[in-house]
Amino acid sequence: RSPQTMIEVDCYQCKSNKSELYDTENGHNLVKCLECGLLYLNPRPGLEEINEASKSGLHRGDNKSKKFGEFDDKLKETYLSRLNDFNYATMFSEKKKYSWLDIGSGHGELVETLANFGGEYIDIMGIEPNVNKLKAAIERGINLKFLDLETHQEKYDVISAIDIYSHLPNPPEDIAKWCEMLNEGGELLIQAVDSATLSLENQHKPYSLPDHFSFTSKKLLIQLLQGLDMEVIQVESYRLPQYPVFSSMELFRQIGRMFMPGRSANFNFSPKYPDGDLWIRAKKRVL
């Protein structure tokens, strides 16, 4: 594989070029903006490299890059719980059809959950650049496509983006584009990891550099959305999936993983800040 072209970037959130080294991983630097506190990869891969990586799903920092995973039914349980927490049942009880676009759908777990949840009152489509995940989802009967959002003209009532914030080459620009794709009064549902304010010893690792480009915080993401004329209507924080909840059964499960080839055990039952799984529902202001 040819060496990566790396480019220097300023802070995505506030455009400052003042930063300090925060940490290193896989030979890459994670820096902290001295103005707003965003954590971001600098230097980072060029746009062409990013696009190729996302289409193939090959993550350079991940030595298991040949494994693309598979559809995860447990994720559907999580998503159903989140949809209930955010009162989407109320939306679908209005007996009006909503158009919903899910960006970065992976294997399509959220799209399948939403199709069942909204029933006849949702027109749901997901987009996924990874050709392997896309093919598997289509074979399962899930409505997934690959579209270039730069040229896509459709508008939607709701756009969701789960677990992709850190993969965005420029979060303010990318999220501004999503806002343009919303109908009047439309909504965004965004998930990100709330970790930019953590001290180094409490950080959620690994960072998966250089595949993740930045890490935000609750305050920074709310500021970004409000700056795009979005009204934040609900914010929830959940325990990150990499931190198992302690029980004797879970303890035995992790001990068992120690003896399984290709698996690693996780005994991090009580991190200081486990609730870094940030979900925000925001509505486009009617001008």
Strand spans (E) along the chain: 6-7, 19-25, 28-33, 39-41, 44-45, 98-103, 122-127, 144-145, 156-161, 182-193, 214-215, 230-238, 277-284
pLDDT tens digits along 110-129 = 999 999 999 999 999 999 98
Contact 111, 126 (CB under 8 A): yes
Between CA 236 and CA 10 the distance in angstroms is 29
**Measured distance CA(28)–CA(134) in Å, rounded:** 30
pTM: 0.87
Cα separations (Å) of 275 from 62, 243, 270? 25, 9, 11
Residue (of 239, 260, 132) closest to 193 by Cα position = 239
Backbone angles phi, psi at 238, to 5 degrees: -125, 165
Range list of H helices, 187-287:
218-227, 248-257
* Contacts for 285 with CB less than 8 Å, ≥ 6 apart: 229, 230, 231
Q: Report residue 4 CA to chain centroid gap.
A: 24
DSSP-derived letter for residue 51 is H
What pLDDT is stored for residue 254 in this prediction? 58
Q: What is the pLDDT of residue 168?
A: 93
b/e string for 110-130 if b means 16 or more Cβ within 10 A? bbbbbbebbeeebebbbbbbb
Query: Contact 125/141 with Cβ under 8 angstroms?
Result: no
- Per residue in 141-162, pLDDT (tens digit) is 999 999 888 888 899 999 999 9
- DSSP assignment of 80-130, as one string? HHHHHHTTHHHHHTT---EEEEEES-TTTHHHHHHHHHHGGGEEEEEE---
Q: Which residues of the chain have pLDDT under 50?
A: 1, 58-67
